[in-house]
Structure 1
């Protein structure tokens, strides 16, 4: 069982609407060519909470909801396993723009009351803030590079 959320950038012409094909993207841990990968640790659901507090965007354009868990589901043969999620290249560009413009401190301020008790309370705020800020920077860099290359994103959710 994996406790990590994996995101992989994929050139749009290479995408297939097949869960089996998408799963094969994650068979290799080696990042080759344009198949860049970002991995979020077990805190990925809490990272998602940080973006839920972002100010509203233009209606119909919700990149804050696509950063971590968003995307079109591609269901697997075993319906008990979570689907893979796919963001188009256009959606990945919007997420990259959102992350570039997002004020992490403002996002943290919105989510801190809910998150701090789970990570040691006010005494651990500096370390907790640092861990989430680092993940934010990694996501920002991943999506910026992905958008610059015109790639889509495939997400592999942990199997619980």
Structure 2
């Protein structure tokens, strides 16, 4: 089973508070997603999305207080999937999206990196400079994604996509 974390910008007038509607947001084929990612309308984080979460929100006992830094990856209001075996969707309003964009634009990556230098999931597979470079690239991509979404007044819907789950039941 593979998994990745998918973020998608949505204009508020198009947004529906329905898990079925949100699921349809993530049913596009890979080519359509790659095209939107290229225009900063979507962002996909690979299986190391929890490492990106650590970069912004920290880890216990030094977990960050609530705020835009804690909304970057896993933050948002949950909208529960009708299938209890699937994770909930996470929704950031347009206002929260703008706060996250402002936070990311002002964040100093070197400070984030120094605070997050704990054993990360990718640590067993890569050297510290490679891990740092990967996280820096994703930080830049997330900043561009949220800045573009905020500039359009968009909300953001997020979902942990689990591929192969249906095949395992």
User: 1:27, 1:74 → 2: CA distance?
Assistant: 17
For structure 2, list consecutive stretches of 5 or more residues without a partner in the other structure: none
Residue equivalent to 1:6: 6
Contact 1:12 1:151 in 2 (8 A): yes
Return the offset for 1:157. Answer: 1.1
Contact 1:6 1:40 in 2 (8 A): yes
Matches within 5 A, 1:2-151: 2-29=2-29, 30=32, 31=35, 36-53=41-58, 62-115=67-120, 118-120=123-125, 124-151=127-154
* 1:95-154, Cα deviation, whole Å (9 max, x unpaired): 000000111111110111332883457xx1111100011011000000000000000000
For structure 1, list consecutive stretches of 5 or more residues without a partner in the other structure: none
- The question of 1:153 aligning with 2:129 is answered no
Contact 2:40 2:145 in 1 (8 A): no
TM-score, normalised with respect to structure 2 = 0.82
Contact 1:10 1:35 in 2 (8 A): no
Q: How many residues align?
A: 155
User: 2:41, 2:118 → 1: CA distance?
Assistant: 34
* 1:39-68, Cα deviation, whole Å (9 max, x unpaired): 001110011001024x999x8x60011000
Task: Give the root-mean-square deviation of aligned CA atoms.
Answer: 2.6
Contact 1:8 1:35 in 2 (8 A): no
